Amino acid sequence: MFEDVDPKDLEEGRKYLMSGSVGGGLPIIVESGKGAVLKDSNGKEYIDCTSQAWTFNIGMSHPRVIEAVTEQINKITHVRTSFETVPKLLALKKIGEIAPADLKKISFCLHGSVANESALKLAITNNPDRVKFLSPFENYSGRTLATIAGSWPYPPICKLFSGFMEHFIRIPNAYCYRCPLGQDYPKCGLLCAEYVKTMIERGCEPVIAIILEPFQSSGGMIGFPDGYLKRLREICDEFGILLIFDEIQTGFGRLGSMFGCELYGVYPDILTYGKAIAGGFPLAGVMQRTSLKPPEPATDSFTFAHFPVSLAAAIATLDVMKEEKLVERAKVMGEYFTSRLKGLQNKYEIIGDIRGPGLMIGIELVKDRKTKEKASGACHSIVTESIEDGVIFGESKFKGLGNVLKIKPPFVISEAQADRVLEVFEKHIKKQQDKL
Ligand SMILES: Cc1ncc(COP(=O)(O)O)c(C=O)c1O
Give the per-residue pLDDT at 401: 80
Confirm if 85 and 306 have CB atoms less than 8 A apart: yes
- Residue 4 burial (CB < 10 Å; 0-12/13-18/19+)? exposed
Query: Ligand 1: distance of its center to the CA of 310 in Å?
Result: 17
- Residue 236 burial (CB < 10 Å; 0-12/13-18/19+)? buried
pLDDT digits (tens, 9 = 90+) for 299-347: 888 999 999 999 999 999 999 999 999 999 999 999 999 999 999 999 9
Confirm if 397 and 313 have CB atoms less than 8 A apart: no
For the CA of 144, the nearest atom of ligand 1: 11
Query: Rounded distance, CA 343 to CA 178, Å?
Result: 22
Query: Rounded distance, CA 383 to CA 394, Å?
Result: 7
Give the per-residue pLDDT at 306: 98
In three-state secondary structure terms, 61 is: coil
Q: Where are the alpha helices (DSSP H) in 48-153?
A: 51-54, 63-75, 86-98, 112-126
Give the per-residue pLDDT at 21: 60
Q: What's the distance, CA 347 to chain centroid?
A: 30
Residues 6+ apart with CB under 8 A from 368: 349
What residue's CA is closest to ligand 1, atom 7?
A: 112
Query: Rounded distance, CA 252 to CA 289, Å?
Result: 19
Give the per-residue pLDDT at 24: 55
Give the per-residue pLDDT at 134: 97
Is 364 a pocket residue for ligand 1 (Cβ < 6 Å)?
no
Residues of the chain under the 70 pLDDT cut: 20-25
Query: Ligand 1: distance of its center to the CA of 278 in Å?
Result: 14
Confirm if 292 and 101 have CB atoms less than 8 A apart: no
Q: What are residue 67's phi and psi, to 5 degrees?
A: -65, -45
Query: Ligand 1: distance of its center to the CA of 426 in Å?
Result: 30
* Largest separation between any pair of C-alpha atoms in the chain: 67
Beta bridge partners, 391, equal 47
Query: Rounded distance, CA 255 to CA 99, Å?
Result: 16
- Residue 42 burial (CB < 10 Å; 0-12/13-18/19+)? exposed
Give the up-direction half-sphere exposure of residue 415: CA atoms within 13 A in the CB hemisphere. Answer: 4
Q: Which of 114, 140, 261, 271 to mutate to test the pocket of ligand 1 (most atoms within 8 A of CB)?
A: 140
Is 138 a pocket residue for ligand 1 (Cβ < 6 Å)?
no
Give the per-residue pLDDT at 370: 97
Give the per-residue pLDDT at 26: 78
How many other β-carbons are positioned within 10 Å of the β-carbon of residue 297? 7
Go through the domains of the chain in sequence order and give each one's CATH number. 7-58+328-435 (3.90.1150.10), 65-323 (3.40.640.10)
CA distances in angstroms from 431 to 379, 386, 387, listed in the order given: 11, 12, 15
Is 141 a pocket residue for ligand 1 (Cβ < 6 Å)?
yes
Query: Rounded distance, CA 392 to CA 384, Å?
Result: 8
Confirm if 81 and 305 have CB atoms less than 8 A apart: yes
Residues, the chain = 436
How many other β-carbons are positioned within 10 Å of the β-carbon of residue 379? 28
For the CA of 247, the nearest atom of ligand 1: 1
Query: Which residue in 272, 296, 229 sits closest to 99, CA to CA?
Result: 272
The pTM of the full predicted model, rounded to 2 decimals, is: 0.97
Give the per-residue pLDDT at 154: 74
For the CA of 142, the nearest atom of ligand 1: 6
Residue type, 60: M
pLDDT digits (tens, 9 = 90+) for 280-298: 999 999 999 999 999 988 8
Query: Rounded distance, CA 193 to CA 213, Å?
Result: 15
